Amino acid sequence: MVLSQLIFHAHPSDQTTTVYSYYDVYDSPFARFDPNRRISIRQDSVLTAFIVLCTVGLAGVVVHRLLSVRGAKKKASRQSPPSNPTQSQDDDTHNISHTQSATSGDPPQHINWRNLADLQLEISAIELVTPLAAGSYGVVWRAKLRSNEVVAVKTCSRTSLDDVQNFVDELALLSTLHSPYLVSLLGVTWTHACDLKAVLEYMDSGDLRQLLDNAPPPSPQLVANSPSFSWRQKLECALSVGHALVYLKQQHVIHRDLKSRNVLLDSKCGTKLADFGIAKHLHDDTTHASMTTGVGTYRWMAPEVLTFRRYSVAVDVYSFGVLLTELDTHRVPFTDVQNDHGRSVADAAVVCMVLYEHLRPSFSNKCPLWFVELGRRCMQADARDRPTPEDVVDILTCQLGMLANVMEDVVDER
């Protein structure tokens, strides 16, 4: 087993890490493993030394891969920007050369702005009100339009050519997606290339992880009422995410970062999937080499994403199975896995156990059996053994219908 890890983004609040780089992991047969068993991991100095040596040994190879990919992205981004009737062609709205030259000394290069000129809003039409979330990539604001409509504004604090191009690509993809189960892109605005902002649909109830952190797990009985987050609400939430996956499959798009943080809630609009920063459109010419390895957030990542294997929309189904464990336990996946000292196991160790010990996030002992079965099917090691998004929607729809009938019977008895 060899593991090479380069670029991390830590989330201290939920003890997770997002990786934007590559892993070199050689396949090994999976051992039989009970996903509900409490794991005790011994992390001695030998294991630590082994991981360090493996990482150093392969660092050169991985760096070479990353530089090759970065070079390819730069080559692809050297295209002429689309014309914008509201601004001149020599305006730095379409040109990052001034910022790029000033910050890195690289020769002037251009951003491929795709269709964003068609979505441009006047900067004066938006009033930033309150920051909602911040990370290494940027800040999300609560904002208002002139019409007093409340919106969310996402900014990019990074100024490198690749980062700005990635943000443009994310917004260009999102502009083509139209579903009641996805957060909508309303427009974009900028004063210069490194000041690009996305104006998004505002979801007034935060994200699913916040709700799970603040709400006590409800009674295991599906018919029980909960003042916070009932089983019925959980199933409706899961069903909405399932519908989002069906739509993305129809559009040949893989989200690649499905997790509770990226599931947003609204008092009127319900549940919607957000954050397409690392989503992938499966073009007909997509090859194995273009399928980035190790993209996403560790604890929600399918085994094939961690290895150099071609993958498909089935990776989102795997992440959906992990999401089901969150809905059941309210815990971040694998937080119940501890070492001999009673401490949480590092992400690198979790990755190894997922790949070689078939470790999966656990459900509670009181979780409905059909819910556990669905989650385990979604988290199968072989992508071919997982249900399709359509299967997931059918199962959840059926169970919600049965729950509605049970609730009606309870009301009638009263």
Catalytic residues: 257
**Single-letter residue type at 288:** H
Give the containing element (helix H, strand E) for 132. Answer: strand 126-134
DSSP state of 182: B
DSSP state of 361: P
**Exposed/middle/buried for residue 342 (C-beta within 10 Å: 0-12, 13-18, 19+):** exposed
CA-nearest of 92, 400, 408 to 240 is 400
DSSP state of 262: G
Separation CA 240–CA 262 (nearest Å) = 13
Separation CA 171–CA 165 (nearest Å) = 10
Residue with tokens 């690289």: 106
User: How many angstroms from the chain centroid is the CA of residue 256?
Assistant: 6
**β-pairing, 295-297 with 280-281?**
unpaired
Residues 6+ apart with CB under 8 A from 309: none
Separation CA 125–CA 115 (nearest Å) = 20
Separation CA 172–CA 79 (nearest Å) = 15
